[in-house]
Amino acid sequence: MRTKLFYLIFCLPCFVLFSKQVNAQTAGVGIFESQTDVGVVKHKGNAQYDPKLQQYHLEGSGNNIWANADAFHFVWKRMKGDFILRTNAAFIGKGVEAHRKVGLMIRTSLDSNSKHINAVVHGDGLTSLQYRKTVGGITEEKKSAVTGADVIQLERKGNTYTMSVARKGDMFTTEEVSDVDLGDDVYVGIFICSHNANVSEKATFSNTRIVVPAPATLVAYKQYLGSSIELLDMATQNSTVIYQSPKSLQAPNWMHDGSSLIYNSEGSLYKFNLKTGEPTVLNTGQAKNNNNDHVLSFDGKMLAISSGDGGPSIGYTVPVTGGDAKRISAVGVGASYMHGWSPDGKYIVFCGQRGKEFDVYRIPSGGGPEERLTNTPGLDDGPEYTPDGKYIYFNSVRSGLMQVWRMKADGSEQTQITNDDHNNWFPHVSPDGKWICYITFLKNEVEPGDHPFYKHVFIRVMPVGGGPSKVVAYLYGGQGTINTPSWSPDSKHIAFVSNSQLLFPVFPMSK
């Protein structure tokens, strides 16, 4: 079940942007406008931006960020309204002071005694939400139960600020304050403080994002936020933005030669060349209103696509090079959303709406009678074959929350694979057959049977046979993030879509 209707929106043209390393107090640094030393510092700080890895390398001194005045190095951008800041921060070297600090900062001004709030990790692992409510006032603190956090997020909604932190691989733990008035126009960014005026410390910030979330007035499936296509390196868990658009981009498939992605946007499929950074429309013939259920065959020669031109979604096949789309789903039976090919190319599995139920079906790839593989009440969705063809993974709400399940290729031995307190969707098996990635929604934000746009979501991985899951990406997204198989052919990367209201230029990128 995916977006059924697509609406054209007026938008700015999409740009692929480029940046050189910056090391100046007045020049922009990556996605930030400038950098400065706040307060009195003995050793001038600096920041450099690596456009290839999209990482920030900070060096700074400063006595402290505490009491009624601060001294530290700050890399910042002016912002208004609500937003979400996120980064992975790590000190370089052993350091001198146990309470040296790195983190995310929001300030009313660049004065040393400004009102502020910051999500901070100290050198000894102390992780806390610190804030000064009045100019020159005393800094207050809420300590997190998490120590040594690797991932830091700070979100503003009006005068409410939420810090979410985690050790890499874990889900977030949160702390919140609701009465800090910094004004609408603020400085936001990343910082470093040595906690010792006589020394400088160094740190690296990766996966650094400024997200402008959906406003409460946004009309779902009629209005859209901008999109970023990101590539996640599974070895380092560093993610880089490779393309951005103010339009809704969804569901990147990785082509089998590793050179391109296929995604959908506003009813069309696009082939995105990873070398040139350019998208081109893929001809799908009579299938004119394509949604985000599209999947490549194991040999890379064919696409199964889903299209609904003013009616229920219909399944088609089309050559990966484009051409006439051939209808394969039955006429007049209900919506069909294509999800997975069998390795031998003979079958396609899909989520079919028949009456009021959504179940997993398979159908011959050349067309023919469909076969129902699941029949329990509630939504079964996202079916996908393992590379050896023995199993089909899918997600099901039958146990209460949405969880990952597995069955044999004939539909027998249906077994629950994940069993946690979240809603888990769209399991994708890595090409080497070792791992599953899937997307997790929070149950306090999303109903079990829904997977909407514009939520706090997580990409998680687990061994294909079951076992502990770990988070590999923390992001703002949801619908269209990884609806389709998104592993690179060598199983070393995952492509996904994150969302934000884009303010051009947004992200410096390099070819």
The pTM assigned to this predicted structure is 0.93
Measured CA to CA, the distance from residue 309 to residue 289 in angstroms comes to 5
| CB within 8 Å of 504: residues ≥ 6 apart | 12, 15, 246
Q: Measure Cα distances from 232 to 149, 239, 261, 380, 459 in Å.
A: 20, 4, 14, 28, 10
Pick the closest to residue 250 from 454, 509, 16, 430 (CA basis).
454
DSSP assignment string, 6-58: ------PPP----------SSS-BTTBSEEEEES--SS--EEEEETTTTEEEE
Cis peptide before 505 (omega within 30 of 0): yes
Output the six-digit token pair for 44: 């001038």
DSSP state of 365: T
140 bridge partner residues: 131
Measured CA to CA, the distance from residue 436 to residue 430 in angstroms comes to 6
Each residue's pLDDT expressed in tens, for the chain with a length of 511 residues: 443 332 223 233 333 332 222 233 446 899 999 999 999 999 999 999 999 999 999 999 999 999 999 999 999 999 999 999 999 999 999 999 999 999 999 999 999 999 999 999 999 999 999 999 999 999 999 999 999 999 999 999 999 999 999 999 999 999 999 999 999 999 999 999 999 999 999 999 999 999 999 999 999 999 999 999 999 999 999 999 999 999 999 999 999 999 999 999 999 999 999 999 999 999 999 999 999 999 999 999 999 999 997 789 999 999 999 999 999 998 889 999 999 999 999 999 999 999 999 999 999 999 999 999 999 999 999 999 999 999 999 999 999 999 999 999 999 999 999 999 999 999 999 999 999 999 999 999 999 999 999 999 999 999 998 889 999 999 999 999 999 999 999 999 999 999 999 976 677 765 5
Pick the closest to residue 48 from 473, 508, 504, 506 (CA basis).
508
All domains in the chain, ordered by first residue: 34-211 (2.60.120.200), 226-500 (2.120.10.30)
Q: 379 φ, ψ to 5°?
A: -75, 125
Measured CA to CA, the distance from residue 449 to residue 401 in angstroms comes to 8
Contact at 8 Å (CB) between 247 and 224? yes
